[in-house]
Structure 1
Amino acid sequence: MKWLVILGLVALSECVVIIPLTEIKTLRETLREKNLLTNFLEENIDNTSQNATDDPKMSLHPLRNHLDLVYFGNITIGTPPQEFRVIFDTGSSDLWVFSINYSSPHCCANKLFNPHLSTTFRDTSKFFGFRYTSGMIFGSLGYDTVRIGNLENQGQAFALMRRQIGLEDTPFDGILGLGYPSLALEGTTPIFDNLKREGIISQPVFAFYLSSGKENGSVVMFGGVDHSYHRGKLRWMPVSQIGYWQITMNRITMKGMVVGCFNGCQAILDTGTSMLAGPTKSVTIIHKLINAIPFGEEYEVPCSSLTQLPTILFTINGKYYPVPAQAYIWKNHRGRCLSRFQGGREHSNKPEAWVLGDVFLRLYFSVYDRGNNRIGLAPAV
């Protein structure tokens, strides 16, 4: 599921509270009980970079954690600069923001880009439509100066959103895609590729640290890796198909039983998705094993059972990546404990695929290396 599917959760974000860690087991406690702690620590004890790209010129940018649902940071567009809150999204490749031509019956808490106020804006009179799982956005294409902190690219292509279907009440003003160029609008170049091509960043990497349960502390970094945000060494895995940040996954297990990715599968690491999304069949198996029952369009478990819920193991490149109950269950303001697994990603003519969203990426610091087409993961601090 792409981020647009998750926006239904954003609209309900006032109903979300963070589960106190005292109510459920920590990752360390869960691993110890499952006899996995020793092996996990042994595999991740080395604090060396293991060929990670590390550069003193790297640039760190703070992200705001909005209720563990979306993460966004500030950029500016135009001259003089107009500021916008955007999701830095590894699951797409285009940059778009709301524009002054945005039409909505209930407009609008979002910042709107005004091209008439920018002396460097260039219009193309080209129109586009983005299709997502649960909606579409429509707009026009333009070029202007875009700044991410001290990183500046002049003449960057971006989309000015005019109309949408299925996208309301977002706490952000746009999306900045960090996927491969093949996903971008035809004839345009994503901003990361422009930064790389023009030598604005010295190394072709970026990385994410996503905080859990607190608004501040999350960062996206460009041009290098700050190793203080993870424990142990980075484990590298090749990108299996250029486009998304896509890798090959071995299996998903729970209580020693394979519950997903039965014959190997593909997985996309997506900072723009809040959930763990997979085929309905596998998600149904998981919900049965944790005794989850339907609650509207979601699934809930008795909150009294949280300390007994099993850890789920994602095996990638032969290594375990545990996801405990404290990560895949969240508690709303009414005291209901809801699953963060979501089905619906089956295709009759395509291999099984999963999306590892923020539920997974809060646990594991992630590095995206375009120079070597690989992803690095290590336990987040």
Structure 2
Amino acid sequence: MPSWKGKQKALARADDGGGTTAGVVIPLELSGSGIYDVAYTVPVSIGYGDQKFSLEVDTGSSDLWVASTSCSSSACGHTGGSNYDPSTSGKETGLYFSINYLSGSVSGPVYWDRVTVGGYSIENQALAAASSVTDEDLAPDFSGILGLALPLNSIIAENIPPVTNNSPDGAAWASNLFSITPTSNAPSSRFLSLSLSRPGSDRIPSYLGIGKHPPDLVNDPSQIHYSTVVSNTAGSLFWKASVRDITVWVDGQPRPVDIGRSNTGAVFPSAVIDSGVPYIFTTSKVANAIYGALDVHPASDGNYYVPCKTPLNMTISLDDRPALSLHPLDVTAEPPKDNNADFCIGLIQAADGQLSNPNSHIGDIILGVPFMRNVYTVMA
């Protein structure tokens, strides 16, 4: 397991309603339609005047950004005025932040400011005050991103290297979280966890766990299966697992999918666990094999469409864990503008441009929200 680099730079206040060794479980809100523009958000306070925002928890990136008052992009106008004003308490770093996602991009200056999540307050947390946001479905309940991927993946930290003293630096939020001093104000269990709800169902609630498991979901933490994060030549950037098997079940019969080797040459493909992506992305070869089991082939637009009355039943095996079943409701969806369509959109799609390049460091598969709704994810 990767370890968090610790240092004495963060503090927690007792009056924040948290900040103890016991950890905390924070309910998440579901922003968007729940399918194509879904975002699971956590309440975050920034500054000493406690500017409050709802930020998407994103296990596929490592940086924190918030739409700012200086943002002129149309997306920032959809936050209902819930934009960050760094002039109230932010301190300029002199760094300009820019990131490109699978879809969309964000840029803006980086500030140091006080950030509080779940009662844990971090002084001088580096964050971007986004002045340009494209292809992000911002809303009053979604005005930025709290990156939860591994610290080595942080763009801000790459430009403002973390230090071991109390000086402000570019360390990722999660790194600072588990470095809070005194240790009596820090979570004693060094992990983050996520459970994601399915739209229209309250059977599984949405939670962010900080050093604490949701008691209504986890009766026995010893039953959680852990494995080592898959690394590459650049190190451990993402929460990544090896994919050992994918099987589609048709009329109760297994149809194993030929997943091949990784684009890096490794024996097994690797998959990034990414709560910020509303799809499962893979290569055309694997997508063709999954849908081919149902005699479904890519349409003229390159996407996959499944008869709405045909369930896609499949399992996926990661590392040495038991096979995981994906609920059919999570892997296909009705078109956003036609609830009576004969064909549903497959939420497993091909992204060869991003996943066929061994130098991208992403891996071979992105297991987004449709996968994560079927598991309880612990990142330690």
CA pair 169-291 structure 1, distance change in 2 beyond 3 A:
farther
- 1:256 to 1:155, Cα distance in 2 relative to 1, 3 A: same
Q: Distance in 2 between matches of 1:324 and 1:91?
A: 22
What is the alpha-carbon distance in structure 1 between the residues aligned to residue 75 and residue 374 of structure 2? 37
Shift of 1:107: 5.0
* Distance in 1 separating the partners of 2:301 and 2:219: 39
Structure 2: give runs of 5+ residues left out of the alignment: 1-19, 161-169, 249-253, 262-266
| Secondary structure in structure 2 of the residue aligned to 1:286 | helix
Equivalence map 1:85-164=2 (5 Å): 85-105=54-74, 108-110=77-79, 111-116=82-87, 118=88, 120-164=89-133
Label 1:273 to 1:81 Cα distance change in 2 as closer, same or farther (>3 A): same
Superposition pairs for residues 349-360 of structure 1, below 5 Å? 349=358, 353-360=364-371
3-state SS of paired residue (1:305): coil
**Unaligned stretches of 5+ in structure 1?**
1-54, 370-381
SS of residue matched to 2:107: strand
2:227 is aligned, of 224, 234, 237, to 237
Once the two structures are TM-superposed, the CA of residue 136 in structure 1 deviates from its matched residue by 2.3
User: Which residue in the other structure is 1:29 paired with?
Assistant: none
Aligned identity (percent) is: 23
Runs (4+) of structure 1 exceeding 4 A deviation are 168-171
Aligned length: 311
Q: Which moved more, 1:286-295 or 1:192-201?
A: 286-295
Q: CA deviation at 1:357?
A: 1.2
Q: Which has the higher contact order (CA 8 A, sep 6+)?
A: 1
Comparing 359-368 with 55-64, greater Cα deviation is found at 55-64
Q: Match for residue 326 of structure 1?
A: 329
Report the counterpart of residue 276 of structure 2 in structure 1.
Answer: 272
1:169, CA displacement in angstroms?
4.7
Greater strand share, structure number: 1
Secondary structure at the counterpart of residue 364 of structure 1: coil
Residues 89 and 105 of structure 1, relative CA distance in 2, 3 Å threshold: closer
**Out of 318, 323, 346, which is 2:355 matched to?**
346
Amino acid at match of 2:256: M
Quick one: distance in 2 between partners of 1:193 and 1:310? 38
Answer yes or no: is the 8 Å Cα contact 1:251–1:261 preserved in 2: no
User: Per the alignment, do residues 280 and 189 of structure 1 end up closer, same or farther by CA in structure 2, a change over 3 Å counting?
Assistant: same
Residue 225 (str. 1) matches residue 225 (str. 2): no
What residue number does 1:361 align with?
A: 372
What is the alpha-carbon distance in structure 2 between the residues aligned to residue 197 and residue 72 of structure 1?
Answer: 23
Give the aligned CA root-mean-square deviation in angstroms.
2.4
Code of the residue aligned with 1:273 in structure 2: it is V
- Residue 288 (structure 2) aligned to one of 262, 284, 289: 284
Aligned match of 1:77 in 36, 42, 46?
Answer: 46
Does residue 301 (structure 1) correspond to residue 290 (structure 2)? The answer is: no
1:312–1:324 Cα contact (<8 Å) kept: no
Q: Deviations over 1:318-349 (max 9, x none)?
A: 52112242321122443332211011143244
**Aligned partners of 1:248 and 1:267 also within 8 Å:** yes
Structure 2 residue aligned with 1:257:
256
Distance 1:168 1:270 in 2: 17
Give the TM-score taking structure 1 as reference length: 0.75
Aligned match of 1:248 = 242
Which amino acid in the other structure matches residue 133 of structure 1?
Answer: L
